[in-house]
């Protein structure tokens, strides 16, 4: 009888070729880190204090955080940590916002990741959903209208830096302008940059989204652009909680994180990717992924299949294919549209195979 883990590996290996609807890079080899599977790496508590527990990788975590702080132009006094993923990063950012503005109203667009509304609920923040433009970008006029109704209350706004469906990017400068026009003086902006944060930071004509652009906090996912086989992420903030926690005697370190015990292995994986690629390698991956997205649009145009793409996005929107094609290629769909995501590691062969299958399907109704 085949062991369960081998059955799982067989299934995942088979599924990986046609799994182009979800954002996970597949071009970085993390197998050299396999010896670390024999030890526990728990970066418990604050990354800036090693603490009593010796089985950690906090020194490496500090280096990783320093890299992303420079990439996202963090000011002096910044803080952050390696999280369990984008959901925790969003929770952390909104928690910092509520800590500073306890009477705030939270605003997020209807294209926001589902974790945003969940974090607002867990934090007891009244949440208001803002409309989006056809591209998926937040509707700044609607944000102004909604916020003006509550101008006496502070605002906590989540900016989407690469929405889940269309990879639309909200402009942090325009969010601040909308709040100014609404008469909201006190505000906090969190950038949910789970997918697009790193690629955009490596782009010459980058939009306004990071800590130098007016975001108070930012979070990314490690398992998307970096394709880490362990779910993780990074959260950074201009400054930490106003009431810095005291050291916890049991662990010998303070803890201002959401999760407490945190992955040391994920830290090492991120460090491994940064070490072997560097900024130049990450930039090259970004350009190659965008080239594949451009190639995808050309192939879809060739067969006459309706499609569109936000500027610079890895994500290509296409009119929803027949169920058999959509299911086989794992394409999420909404309102008659599906998407595929040309993450680093997706090849022209995969795109060709997908388009060939699509071209023999039932013709789409324009």
The Cβ of residue 185 has, within 10 Å, a number of other Cβ atoms equal to 11
Helix axes 348-359, 264-302, angle to 10 degrees: 50
Which of 242, 234, 158, 243 is closest to 198 using CA atoms?
234
Give pLDDT tens digits for 155-210.
999 999 999 999 999 999 999 999 999 999 999 999 999 999 999 999 999 999 99
Question: In this predicted structure, what is the pLDDT of residue 353?
Answer: 98
Residue 363's pLDDT is 58
What is each CA distance from 43 to 55, 60, 91, 297, in whole angstroms?
Answer: 8, 10, 19, 43
Fold of 4-28+278-359: 3.90.1150
Cβ–Cβ < 8 Å for 270, 221: no
What pLDDT was estimated at residue 4?
A: 83
The CATH classification number of 31-276 equals 3.40.640.10
> Contacts by 28-35 with C-beta closer than 8 Å and gap 24+?
28/226, 28/227, 28/272, 28/273, 28/276, 28/277, 28/344, 30/228, 30/229, 30/269, 30/272, 32/272, 33/265, 33/268, 33/269, 33/272
State the DSSP H helix or E strand holding residue 157, giving kind and residue range, or none if neither.
Answer: strand 155-160
Output the pLDDT for position 127. 97
Residue 1, C-beta contacts closer than 8 angstroms, at least 6 positions apart: none
**Do 4-28+278-359 and 31-276 fold alike per CATH?**
no
pLDDT attached to residue 110: 98
| Contact call for residues 85 and 223 (beta carbons, < 8 A) | yes
In this structure, the chain runs to a length of 366
Crossing angle for the helix pair 114-123 and 86-100, to the nearest 10 degrees: 40
pLDDT at 343: 98
The two tokens of residue 42 are 């728990």
Cite the DSSP H helix spans in the chain.
4-16, 58-71, 86-100, 114-123, 140-148, 172-182, 197-201, 222-225, 264-302, 323-328, 348-359
- Residue 241's pLDDT is 77
| Integer Rg of the chain from CA | 21
Residue spans per domain, the chain: 4-28+278-359, 31-276
pLDDT < 50 regions, the chain: none
pLDDT number for residue 362: 66
pTM for the full predicted model: 0.95
Residues near 131 by beta carbon (within 8 Å), at least 6 away in sequence: 109, 110, 139, 142
Give residue 326's pLDDT: 95
Count the alpha carbons within 13 Å of 308 in the hemisphere toward its beta carbon. Answer: 9
Whole-angstrom distance, CA of residue 226 vs CA of residue 245 = 32
Provide the pLDDT for residue 349: 98
């Amino acid at each position: 009888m085949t062991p369960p883990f081998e059955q799982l590996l067989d299934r995942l290996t088979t599924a990986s070729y046609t799994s182009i609807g979800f954002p996970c890079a597949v071009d970085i080899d993390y197998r050299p880190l396999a010896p670390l599977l024999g030890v526990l790496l728990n970066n418990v508590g604050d990354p800036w204090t090693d603490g009593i527990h010796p089985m950690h990788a906090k020194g490496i975590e500090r280096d990783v955080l320093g890299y992303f702080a420079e990439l996202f132009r963090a000011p002096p006094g910044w803080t952050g940590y390696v999280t369990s993923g984008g959901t925790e990063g969003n929770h952390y950012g909104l928690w910092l916002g509520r800590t500073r503005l306890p009477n705030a109203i939270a605003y997020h667009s209807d294209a926001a990741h589902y974790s945003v509304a969940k974090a607002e609920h867990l934090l007891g923040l009244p949440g208001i959903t803002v409309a989006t433009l056809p591209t998926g970008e937040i509707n700044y006029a609607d944000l102004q209208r909604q916020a003006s109704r509550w101008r006496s209350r502070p605002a906590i706004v989540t900016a989407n830096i690469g929405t889940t469906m269309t990879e639309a990017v909200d402009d942090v400068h325009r969010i601040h302008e909308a709040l100014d026009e609404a008469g909201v003086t006190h505000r906090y902006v969190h950038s949910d940059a789970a997918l697009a944060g790193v690629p955009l930071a490596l782009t010459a004509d980058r939009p306004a989204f990071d800590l130098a652009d007016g975001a108070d906090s930012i979070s990314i996912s490690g398992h998307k652009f970096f394709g880490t086989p362990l779910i993780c992420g990074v959260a950074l903030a201009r400054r930490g909680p106003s009431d810095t926690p005291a050291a916890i005697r049991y662990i010998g370190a303070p803890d201002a994180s959401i999760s407490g015990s945190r992955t040391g292995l994920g830290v090492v994986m991120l460090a491994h990717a940064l070490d072997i690629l560097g900024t130049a390698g990450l930039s090259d991956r970004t350009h190659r992924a965008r080239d594949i997205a451009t190639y995808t649009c050309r192939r879809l145009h060739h067969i006459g299949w309706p499609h569109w793409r936000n500027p610079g996005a890895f994500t290509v929107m296409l009119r929803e294919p027949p169920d058999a094609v959509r299911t086989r290629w794992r394409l999420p769909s909404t309102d008659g549209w599906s998407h595929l995501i040309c993450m680093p590691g997706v090849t022209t062969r995969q795109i060709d195979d997908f388009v060939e299958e699509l071209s023999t399907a039932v013709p789409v109704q324009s």
